[in-house]
Homo-oligomer: A and B are copies of this chain.
Amino acid sequence: MSNPIRVTIWNEFRHEKSHEEVKKIYPDGMHVVIGNALKERGFDVGTATLDEPEHGLTQAVLDATDVLVWWGHMAHREVQDEIVERVQERVLAGMGLIVLHSGHHSKIFKKLMGTSCSLRWREAGENERIWVIQPGHPIAEGLPEYIDIPQVEMYGEHFDIPTPDELVFVSWFKGGEVFRSGCCFFRGKGKIFYFRPGHETHPIYYQAEVRQVIANAARWAAPTPGAPFAYAGGRAINVKEPLEKLG
């Protein structure tokens, strides 16, 4: 508890270079803005991006990461399968994972969910209202009953994910849709949180409540110290002898 939680923010970091509109909002990249939200709240923050060697996600980086935050959109296919498998194995071994917005279609999220992770969407510039569905949940700490975001891209149901182990938020959109926008999943020893907001053409990661949610989620998703078990390399364990020795 005394050591700060180590978060690595992974960003595709392409829109910010190629789209003037995005560059204006996030001149140094979304990862820097998200990272600052976490630094201000006492986390130990690193970043990694697609165009670095191994996408910045070497085994050493992952081994020193408690919680990985993932933002990707236009270049999901460029993420190497080998790195995706490495991240998956770390999650199953206990690393937390926070997947943001368009990351719903990232290779790593689809691999961990086992479904298409598809949804309805509309570039709308409409407002979104995010309702707290589980008010006692640690990820809702310090929030009001709902969060309003003035301008967003719409995501609507049906969202093709497994039923979340915990459903923290549901969003309302002016155009007539709803969306499960804050979803917790337990996988192996790891904890995963999907959080909807964050389209690159709106300054969403500067909004205080959104920053609060990401920080709450990073605290929730941090590994349980001394968790009892993990399969090495996903292999089953052959127990040669019966365990019974009591009584």
State whether the Cβ of A53 lies closer than 8 Å to any Cβ in chain B.
no
In the complex, which residues of chain B have a beta carbon less than 8 angstroms from the beta carbon of A240? 122
Residues of B within 8 A of A49 (CB): none
Binary contact readout A230-242 vs B (1 if CB under 8 angstroms, 0 otherwise): 1100111111111
Contact A189 B135 (CB under 8 A): yes
Instruction: Check A132 against B229 for contact (C-beta < 8 Å).
Output: yes
A5 to B150, CA, bound (A): 38
Q: Answer whether residue A120 sits at the interface, using C-beta atoms and an 8 A cutoff.
A: yes
CA distance A160 to B88 in the complex (A): 13
How many residues of A are counted as interface, with CB atoms below 8 angstroms from the partner's CB atoms? 86
Min CB distance A178 to B, Å, is 5
What residues of B have a CB within 8 angstroms of the CB of A124 in the complex?
242
Instruction: Answer whether residue A211 sits at the interface, using C-beta atoms and an 8 A cutoff.
Output: no
Given A114-B112, A118-B234, A188-B116, decide whether A228 and B132 contact each other with a Cβ distance below 8 A.
Answer: yes
Q: Does A60 contact B (CB under 8 A)?
A: no
Q: Is A140 an interface residue (CB 8 A)?
A: yes
A138 to chain B, nearest CB (A): 5
**Once the chains bind, are B92 and A228 in contact (CB under 8 Å)?**
no
Contact yes or no, B116 A113, CB < 8 A:
no
| Chain B residue nearest in CB terms to A111 | B114
| Separation of A191 and B176 alpha carbons in the complex (Å) | 29
Given A94-B136, A114-B114, A239–B120 Cβ distance below 8 Å?
A: yes
| A236–B141 touching, CB < 8 Å | no
Whether B131 and A236, one on each chain, are in contact in the complex, defined by CB atoms closer than 8 angstroms, is no
Across the interface, which residues of B come within 8 angstroms of A127, CB to CB? Answer: 246-247
- Of the residues B105, B122, B140, B223, contact of A136 by C-beta under 8 Å: B223
| Interface assignment of A190: CB less than 8 Å from any CB of chain B | yes
Can you list 25 residue pairs at the A/B interface with Cβ under 8 Å?
A92-B160, A111-B114, A114-B114, A115-B187, A122-B238, A127-B247, A129-B178, A132-B158, A133-B157, A133-B158, A135-B158, A135-B228, A136-B191, A137-B224, A138-B224, A140-B228, A141-B224, A141-B225, A145-B228, A145-B229, A146-B243, A160-B188, A170-B180, A171-B178, A174-B242
**0/1 interface trace, chain A 201-243, chain B, CB 8 Å (1 if under):** 0000000000000000000000111111111001111111111
Instruction: Report whether B178 and A136 are in contact in the complex, using a CB–CB cutoff of 8 Å.
Output: no
A180, B144: Cα distance in complex, Å: 19
